[in-house]
Structure 1
Amino acid sequence: MEQLQELLRIPSPSGYTDQVVTYVKSQLDELGLEVELTRRGAIRAVLRGRDETIQRAVVGHLDTLGCIVKSLKENGRIELLPIGFWSARFAEGARVTLLADTGRSYRGTIVPLKASGHVYNEEIDQMPVGWGYVELRLDERVHSPGDLMALGIHVGDHVAVDSAPEITDSGYICARHLDDKAAVAAMLTAARAVAQSGRKPPTTIYLLFTISEEVGVGASHVLHGDASELVSVDNGTMAPGQNTCEFGVTIAMMDSSGPFDYHLSRHMATLCREFAIEHSRDVFRYYRSDAAAALEAGNDIRTALVCFGLDASHGHERVHADSLAALAKLLYAYITTPPAKPLT
């Protein structure tokens, strides 16, 4: 939980991830792992195994949804476009930080174009939903594009949306950007448990942290060596008609890119049964993960997707601590046990 809260404090919309990469690298360095950064800034960490001829990988992503400055408006407000796929419906009312090139940051709120019922009466309920119907109101004395530029604000600046986490006594974590920082927290927790146990994994394990999953690139550029398996760690969608496990792990059998590897997916389910981890299986229709990007890049690799249960993904997200604990336990089991069968 402490790891997750630290991650949520760090703004990391896709394209602006240096700070979170530095933080996660420091956590891996403390564990004594071999760590390297790719040219683009993704992280590769290595847990050396007893048999280094077999290599497996676990991947999560550090980037989140966010916004970018589309234009500076005549009234001193700012037009935004989304980074990643999310609805402007969930942006209304969000507190944000605009990250200027100068290193300065500015606070503000995303508001509808017609934000006051005292002015617009019933028209506030008649506005369509879309990014063309909201704007960023900065908490600065700005009334024109010139005022904004005088502050060092330009088209193309990143805007980070506040995570605003709240942890309830009943074990729920409510926040933005749980996708995928909750998974990263589980990965780091599993890695710490392995390091503290003194156990050497049966095979070499790569822990991969990508920085562009929300914009579709993800693990296409981070793999190296000859990893035979890739387990992607991401969110499972809680909704009517879905079979995602709210308090355990969900093993995805297929997403919009197609079925996951038959053998690896069932191996993850077997580990759940052997280690008494609550779990379910689900299929996602409008979903893709780092696994899809890895395959599309031409990697000859088995893939699986394991998930924590997330309600209202890419919106007002919520996860239960039990689901994250179960996920960390499964990752620990995967890292510290042999593959299902010899890999070639």
Structure 2
Amino acid sequence: MTTEQLDLIKQLVSIPSPSGHTKKVIQFVEQYFNELGVSTQHNRKGGLIATLKGVNDEEQRMLTAHVDTLGAMVKEIKPNGRLKLDLIGGFRYNAIEGEYCQIETATGAVITGTILMHQTSVHVYKDAGSAERNQANMEVRIDAKVHNETEVRALGIEVGDFVSFDPRVEATANGFIKSRHLDDKASVAILMTVVKRLIAEKITLPYTTHFLISNNEEIGYGGNSNITPETVEYLAVDMGAMGDGQSTDEYSVSICVKDASGPYHYELRKHLVNLAEQNNIDYQLDIYPFYGSDASAAIRSGHDIIHGLIGPGIDSSHAYERTHMESLVKTGELVYHYLLSKLINY
């Protein structure tokens, strides 16, 4: 992982972008591509498509990674001046207990707070440890002198305001990077730096290739549109999920063979494995049982494409995540060699 890639990850995770509110981070990525001279366009959903023209324009590829993250919205302003949340994305309340957050009002004002159990104080609540972490019990303590709903509304806070979580990003001396939202901003940084490498090396790709920076993946439909009729292969670059029974680790690239949507394209999977072996890239094959990607969303929406999924191995998905530079480097290498390879036979 280059210093630039690490810096990009730090910058990306530090830009609040829960699904539904991703304009600022899309602008950041767009500026990066435009400074490289890469052509970009927006889709109506707010995503970004960067395109590199290839030798063959009649058969094309699309790669995708998503900048939208988990987050929340203000569900209710409680009589005690605290906020009830409604979650954005598939995670559990226990994953954000004690986390710092920020609330952005409709006017753009930002107010900080902390996500806590209502029954946090062990000196007051007998069930502080046993009470269920759920919407009824979790609340945001606002960093403002407020005592009731009226005072909160006077700050500009309303139902529907977006709530973002502090990423707490940190890189260790031995190569780990810890942060919220590595899913999937680590992969976005990988695509950005791979494109920069291709341009620096003055490489013309064998096929015109689109890089979709999607912005609704966490809610299921980020990458299911704007796929050109010429697109043959569609590769999602997203996190590899770790846990009991999983092969994925933090030091290699994960190649997904199946997730909750079903198997990924067998021939493309074999092609990715061959590329990894030919280029001495450590990889793991894995199945993600409770997972869906932009590639599976594209298939579900009816596109006639060959779909695949790879990504860096990330521990503690949808919580305070961690990966290692080795996994990021190896994922980038596989993406790079895939882009230079021929389409599979279909």
Q: Please, what TM-score do these two structures have when normalized by structure 2?
A: 0.97
Q: Are 2:315 and 1:311 equivalent residues in the alignment?
A: yes
Choose the corresponding residue for 2:165, options 155, 161, 164: 161
What residue number does 2:180 align with? 176
Alpha carbons 1:42, 1:222 under 8 Å: kept? no
Choose the corresponding residue for 2:336, options 308, 328, 332: 332
What residue number does 1:74 align with? 79
* 1:183 CA drift (Å): 0.6
Q: Are 2:48 and 1:48 equivalent residues in the alignment?
A: no
- Separation in 2, partners of 1:90, 1:169: 26
1:63 counterpart SS class:
coil
- Separation in 2, partners of 1:163, 1:222: 30
* 1:52 CA drift (Å): 1.2
* 1:221 CA drift (Å): 2.1
Alpha carbons 1:62, 1:184 under 8 Å: kept? yes
2:99 is aligned with what amino acid? A
Unaligned 5+ segments in structure 2 are 1-5
Q: Are 2:289 and 1:281 equivalent residues in the alignment?
A: no
- Separation in 2, partners of 1:226, 1:251: 25
1:253 is aligned with what amino acid? V
1:31 is aligned with what amino acid? L
Q: Please, what TM-score do these two structures have when normalized by structure 1?
A: 0.97
Per-residue CA deviation, residues 33-55 of structure 1 (Å, 9 max, x unaligned), is 11000112111111111111110
2:122 is aligned with what amino acid? G
- Separation in 1, partners of 2:193, 2:229: 25
What residue number does 1:267 align with? 271
Q: Which moved more, 1:12-21 or 1:141-150?
A: 141-150
Dislocated runs of 4+, deviation >3 Å: none
- Separation in 2, partners of 1:140, 1:221: 42
What residue number does 1:3 align with? 8
Per-residue CA deviation, residues 231-258 of structure 1 (Å, 9 max, x unaligned), is 0011111112101132010100000000
- Separation in 2, partners of 1:14, 1:3: 20
Alpha carbons 1:61, 1:210 under 8 Å: kept? yes
Alpha carbons 1:183, 1:308 under 8 Å: kept? yes
Per-residue CA deviation, residues 281-313 of structure 1 (Å, 9 max, x unaligned), is 001111101011111111100100002101110
Q: Are 2:305 and 1:295 equivalent residues in the alignment?
A: no
Q: Are 2:97 and 1:92 equivalent residues in the alignment?
A: yes
What's the % identity of the aligned pairs?
36
Alpha carbons 2:117, 2:133 under 8 Å: kept? no
- Separation in 2, partners of 1:337, 1:281: 20
* 1:319 CA drift (Å): 0.5
2:298 is aligned with what amino acid? A
1:33 is aligned with what amino acid? V
What residue number does 2:3 align with? none
Alpha carbons 2:51, 2:210 under 8 Å: kept? yes
What residue number does 2:23 align with? 18
Unaligned 5+ segments in structure 1 are none
What residue number does 1:59 align with? 64
* 1:315 CA drift (Å): 1.1
Alpha carbons 1:245, 1:279 under 8 Å: kept? no
What residue number does 1:37 align with? 42
CA RMSD of aligned residues (A): 1.0
2:276 is aligned with what amino acid? C
Choose the corresponding residue for 1:257, options 258, 261, 277: 261
2:269 is aligned with what amino acid? S
